[in-house]
Each structure stands twice: as C-alpha cells, then as structure tokens.
Structure 1
Amino acid sequence: MQLEIRPDPAEVGRARRWARSRLAGSGIAADEPLAENLVLLVSELVTNAVVHTGCPAVLRLFLSAGPAGAITVRLEVADVSTRAPVPRCPGDESTGGRGLALVDGLADRWGWCPEGVGKRIWCELDRCATTVDATETAVASNCGRTTPAYEGLAYGVYGVYGGLAYGAV
C-alpha cells in the first residue's frame, strides 16, 4: 500500500487519514495504541519529508502477521534527498528538531537506507499476540524485546554500495 505525497504541508493530514483507513481495513482499531502511535509516526516522517526536501515523497505501509495474531506494521517514507536523517538536540525554546527522538521513542525499530536518487526512512511497530485486559494501564510496545541504541537512539542503516550489501543495527 502506498500514497504519493505532494510537497505541501496539507499532505500531512491526508497521509494520517490514509494510514488510519488502511489500518482499519486490516482490523486494527483506531483507538489501539499501535494505531495511535503509527499515525503519529506517519505525521512526523511525512512532515520531515515535505519540510526538508520540498519535493514529492512516497508513503508506504506494510502489515505482516506473525504467530497467534502478532502483527508488525512497517512504515516507510521515500524522498529524493540524499541527506541522512540526523538526530538533533534542540534547546528548550526550539519549536522543532525533536522528530527523530519521537520516532525513536515510539517505534520498536527504525532506520534509513539509500533508495535510488534519494533515501527511505522506515520504522516498525509490533502488536503482540497477547490480548490485554482493559484494566491494565500500560503495555510494552516492543513485546519484551530491547532495541539496540547508538547515543540513546535505536537505528538501522542498510544499503548497497558498489554491488556489496552492508548494514548495521
């Protein structure tokens, strides 16, 4: 599933609505933490693509089912910028610069890789197979896994250079 994004800030709302409808069509309720987090991640990554490149982008969603009802949702935003995403440390008065920290905090995994003349930024969210009782106040979003970190941020870089595959997580 993919959506073409024009370089217009109004596209962010359209991307959120599109993602919600795709999740609902897959049986994931809009008020589920997975759906709420995914919509926030869509908003952040599409905003970054629109604001930082000023060029069209492509939003993709992939859902994969695991054993006993577990689901992984993968979100990708491809754009034509070759600049790597760089986490920033904004000051208290800054109105921006917290996006990748937000992605790192909400996603179970995330990273980026070169794609064609640009790049693809991706993140994944897991929904565990375990059913949660409504009286519970919190559920671990990563199903008990830990995410590797670099300077406090989980990341992944994958790609091909000169025919050789490389990668790091």
Structure 2
Amino acid sequence: MKIGILSDSHLKSDYTKEVIDFFKNENCEYLIHAGDLCIEKNLELLENSGLKYIAVFGNNDRNLFSLASKYNIKSEPYYFKIKDIKFKLMHLPYHLTPDCDVVIFGHTHIFESDYKNKTLFINPGEVCAREKPLIECVQLGINENEYIITRCFKKINEKNFKKEEIIYEK
C-alpha cells in the first residue's frame, strides 16, 4: 500500500497540485493532508484527485470550517483506519502519543520520521516552501513487515522530485 502525505500547503495551490500529481504518478492509493490548507482551492485539488483522501484542519484553517461537510476534512486529532493500520492525524504536534500504528502531524514545516514503541511518527515537511526553498512531501509504503518512508523534495524551480528512503522493520 502506498500513501501520499502532505502538509502546510498554505496559499500555494500550484505547489499542492504538483505534489498531488507526483503522488498519482507514483501510484499512491491514498492522500493524507496534515492541515494548513488555508484556501478552498487546496481542498478542491484533493477532492478532484480521484484518490481517497483525508485532511485535518490546521491552525490557519478557521475560514474552512464551514466546508467540513463538503470535503473530507476533520478536526484534530482524527483517528481512522486504512485496511488494518490505525492512524492518528493532526496538524499541531500536541497528541504525539503511541496510541495507534501511525501518527501523522504537520505545523513545524520540518520533515520528521521516527519509529518507537511500535508507532511510526511522520511529519512530511512543508508544501508551501515558506521556511526553505523546498516543496516537500512523504510517500509511505506499508508492507507486512516494514514501513518505507520516502521523503520527496524539490527546489521550487526544479522539475523533478528527489527521494530519500528510510525503512523501519515492524
């Protein structure tokens, strides 16, 4: 199973579209957005991707609250399952407890990946390239005995994403 994870799109819908198109080309089955979508256009891009998706509100998404029933956007922390894997999704890193298989968060704009106490923690970094001139996202591959985290990033003026892979045995 391949999941595309992104966060902190802010006002950069063109970068968000680049990331979603990249995930589709990489054959991701699901999209997970960890908040700070900021504009409805970013929600429309998730909705129109043709992929199953889930998103949570970030601290800059107050203006999107009224759209919760129109799009698949939830309050944090949001728990859900894909197949037999339990996820917790949030924007603010306030609930970083190992109470599920995978914990996904955003807000810091910094890529993080850690596996401890049988819980995988992931922050995909930032789509918006605000803190550094990089568009960042993560592909999560889940196999029976391992998690494959692929950090994907590119400079805003480059065409192709670069990849760095981290593998954790379950």
**Which of structures 1 and 2 has the larger relative contact order (alpha carbons within 8 angstroms, sep 6+)?**
2
Bigger Rg, which one: 1
- The structure that is helix-richer by fraction is 1
Q: Determine which structure has the larger strand proportion and give its number.
A: 2
What's the TM-score, normalizing by structure 2? Answer: 0.30
